[in-house]
Amino acid sequence: AQSVTQLDSQVPVFEEAPVELRCNYSSSVSVYLFWYVQYPNQGLQLLLKYLSGSTLVESINGFEAEFNKSQTSFHLRKPSVHISDTAEYFCAVSDLIAPGGGADGLTFGKGTHLIIQP
């Protein structure tokens, strides 16, 4: 069984300051890792994902996340946040090999509400 822990339910940060949203996972098998974002009054959308290769992955809007296998972490970072980054951020995992041999559902964390203060 998999689980995802996002320890921080809320992270307030000033505009243009750096931010890190923490994500730790537990799984008995290798996993794929995802960050999804939910902007106010919008649906969930993919921010970035780690499948294989380089452990550092980047999004188009300046976020990055690093897969750390030894620490079972996939923390999300941005060096300078903007007011438009205010949203709920969800970390999620998927088994490399699903029980049925195909894609299965994602296991999500509880989410972290990023609050940007002017």
Partner 1 sequence: GAGVSQTPSNKVTEKGKYVELRCDPISGHTALYWYRQSLGQGPEFLIYFQGTGAADDSGLPNDRFFAVRPEGSVSTLKIQRTERGDSAVYLCASGIGTHTDTQYFGPGTRLTVL
63 binds partner 1 (CB under 8 A): no
81 binds partner 1 (CB under 8 A): no
Q: Which of 17, 46, 56, 115 binds partner 1 (CB under 8 A)?
A: 46
Q: Do 96 and 32 form a contact (C-beta atoms < 8 A)?
A: yes
Closest alpha carbon to 89 in 14, 29, 4, 15: 4
Nearer to partner 1, 40 or 118 (CB): 40
Q: Which of 76, 81, 109, 114 binds partner 1 (CB under 8 A)?
A: 109
x/- contact string, 11-40, with partner 1 (CB under 8 A)? ---------------------x---x----
β-bridge mates for residue 92, sequence order: 34, 108
Closest alpha carbon to 68 in 102, 31, 101: 31
